Chain A
Amino acid sequence: MGILQIVIILLLIFVLSIPVGKYIYKIISGERCFVDPVMNRVDNLIYKISGIKKEQEMNWKQYAVALVLTNLVLTVILFAILRLQNLLGLNPNGIGPMEQSLSFNTAISFITNTNFQSYSGESGASYFVQMILTCFMFVAPATGLAAAAAFLRGIIGKSKSLGNFFVDLTRFITRLLLPVSIVLALVLVFQGVPQTLSHNQTVATIEGKMQDIPLGPVASLEAVKNLASNGGGFYGANSAHPFENPTPLTNIITIISLGLIATATVVAFGHMLKNKKQAWVLFGVAAFLLVLSVGVTYYSESKGNPVLERVGLNQSMGNMEGKELRFSVAESSLFTGATTAYQVGAVNSMHDSLTPAGGMMAMWNMMLQTAFGGKGTGFIYLLMFAILTVFLCGLMVGRTPEFLGKKIEGREIKMVAIAILLHPLLILIPTAISLITPGAAASTSNPGFHGLSQILYNFTSASANNGSAFAGMMTNTVYYNVLIGIIMLVARYLPIIAMLAVAGSMASKKPVPESIGTFRTDNTIFAVTLLGVIIIVGALTFFPALALGPIAEQLTLR
């Protein structure tokens, strides 16, 4: 039954990504589509208010500046709102202002599409803040998608222009994220997710005790949280909370939302390139990595915990610690695989309590970032690895590498190398520093090898802009709030800017006509080589750290 559950949901994601991919292509290319009569009016109103001329084209520098400035403005606004949340109304549960290092961390976390949370929604955020965070859940992923659209125009197109950032941002929100979220939110409310502005309710139970029932505008946040790879829960327990994810049906919908848009972006790429085979090569590689991680996680979780078996607790249900009963172990494992592969960061089980092999696969997905990856950015990483693969193959046969009909030269490879090397630097160095800093290492909540895994996991999550956590670790300290905040910031914007630069330089190159000597990148050989490069780069970089954390823990569990 478990395997059937996993297979059906994955197939649904893959099949649905075909029409959604076509639709995303239309959004990027500005082709006519069925929502135009209504949405053109909304868009035009937004352009008019903001003084945006939609015909105005931007080169890569202008595009990057517009992107960074808009994100900067929003971050400052969010920081101010978090600090002043006690004064801004819609705060029926009387929550006080957020501490400043936590506000710094949270503001960056939400603008970078990470949604790492060192606060709990129940006790740390007013309803007004939750609604503003909902807005960031639209703007941050739309920024990533806009960057991907610009990148695609650059490497495929024939002009120097990468499009208009403000237009891309608007179109992704009004034509994709907002309409789908409205429908999803209604389905979630129907299934039992609260959507109200009234304060938490206290009831008297049939045993004569009292129970507090947390409420709030949950469904509107929840819908876009999952759809747009945000992952920041309304409540502390995230999608394990019965009010965020009440039924098996909402669980299926959530898992599909986690993956749909990122998968569809690859399909959209095929339409833009007018070479579907090329898109299927990337699709195949990403899908293989995703299925592999889900498979290993499910196998490990269904075996249960050998330590509890020795205590005498029957493990035939699998590892149920930290999991909810209404979701099977299979669907929880799939959720874990999907949320880390797609860089969403929502969780429907507590990752800290995963079996070591399961926790390792979650980290592995975030280390590679290429199992489809986050909205827009994951796809950019996939193409970066493709460029690196072409370059390595070119070195082996001794000719100038080409990708998508353009020459790959020193400048592009430098940018790709920066973006790829940045990720391990941002994970391993802070992990090492934290391990030897007594105050920082004391934040871990589990002893032994798992303590190392906690630090490693949380920095990996920050650098991958994922946002899930080994949540037992106390990350709400000034040290971690500031360090993780900086990591999220650098990990988000440096690769985006580097890749826009690559797009800019590729856009100005003349296409090389295809010849017999051209190294084809749309066949199985290239797919296998690409997969090899991704796995080898990932393994060489991260294996030592994984060996000290999850692998060592797994070996001690017998």
Chain B
Amino acid sequence: MKTFLRAIIISLVFIILCGLIYPLGMTGISQLFFNKQANGSIAKYNGKPVGSELLGQAFTDMRFFHGRVSANNYNTYTKADKIPDKNGKTAYDGVSSGSANLAPSNPDLAERVENDMDAFLKLHPGVKKDEIPTDLLTSSGSGLDPDISPEAAKIQIPAISQATGISLVQLEKIVVHNTKGRTLGIFGEPRVNVLETNMEIAKLLNITF
């Protein structure tokens, strides 16, 4: 009985220490010293929040670089996506993350890749099948991958140049400018942040919204 009482009290003590004091304390310190990061590393365009530097977005405009395949469309939606259809379902039903969890043997995976590949080849004439970098046609784990490989960016440059009128050389410069190398030269992969790259293009084109 005494042990039971002690078990109850010590449980409450740790709930207060580790479940309230610790996370609230960390929130206070983080808000004070790392305010931008603690609030989602919000990316701003003309002073307005347009996304997070760490999260990808679903880009469909041909003037912009496109990111990886996402199972949740990067939590990006339009007003129409929130209107229920006749079954009461909406195209967008709230923030989520993850992939479609397709097994390598699942025929749906091969079919999805084939369809995306055909669509990509149509939008990017002159590109050969086996030149398409793997990351562009595979789905990321989170559905929110902010990055593509430098190769995946370069292969999109001619089409973007045609759609925007920005020269190939200048687009290459923009890509190089937004390419991050491996950490300490060893860890991770070289990568291009799609949103930041597209914001630079938007500035060049003077897009306002």
Contact = CB atoms under 8 A, between A and B. Distances in A.
B50 A186 contact: no
Interface in A49-102: 49-52, 62, 65-66, 69-70, 72-74, 77
B161 interface: no
Given A243-B55, A315-B134, A450 B106 contact: yes
Contacts of A134: 18-19, 22-23
Given A182-B26, A203-B50, A220-B23, A314 B130 contact: yes
A178 to B, nearest CB: 7
B174 interface: no
Interface stretch (A316-324, A388-396, A481-489): A316-324
Nearest to B53: A192
Interface in B11-38: 11, 13-15, 17-20, 22-24, 26-27, 29-31, 33-34, 37-38
B126 interface: no
B99 A189 contact: no
B55 A446 contact: no
Interface in A295-315: 304-305, 307-308, 310-315
A437 interface: no
Contacts of A241: 97, 142, 144
Given A51-B5, A206-B45, A251 B188 contact: yes
B133 interface: yes
A312 B97 contact: no
A429 interface: no
B87 interface: no
A204 B45 CA distance: 10
Interface residues of B, number: 107
Given A69-B3, A315-B134, A317-B135, A307 B105 contact: yes
Interface size class of A (residues with CB under 8 A): 35 or more
Contacts of B5: 51
Contacts of A185: 26, 30
A305 B110 CA distance: 10
A191 interface: yes
Interface of B: 2-11, 13-15, 17-20, 22-24, 26-27, 29-31, 33-34, 37-42, 45, 48-61, 64, 68, 74-79, 94-107, 109-110, 113-114, 117, 129-135, 137-149, 182-183, 186-189, 191, 198-199, 202, 207, 209
Interface of A: 1, 4-5, 8, 46, 49-52, 62, 65-66, 69-70, 72-74, 77, 120, 122-123, 131-132, 134-139, 166, 169-170, 173, 178, 181-182, 185-186, 189-198, 200-201, 203-215, 217, 219-221, 224, 235-237, 240-243, 246-249, 251-252, 304-305, 307-308, 310-328, 331, 347-350, 352-356, 445-450, 453, 470-472, 553, 556-557
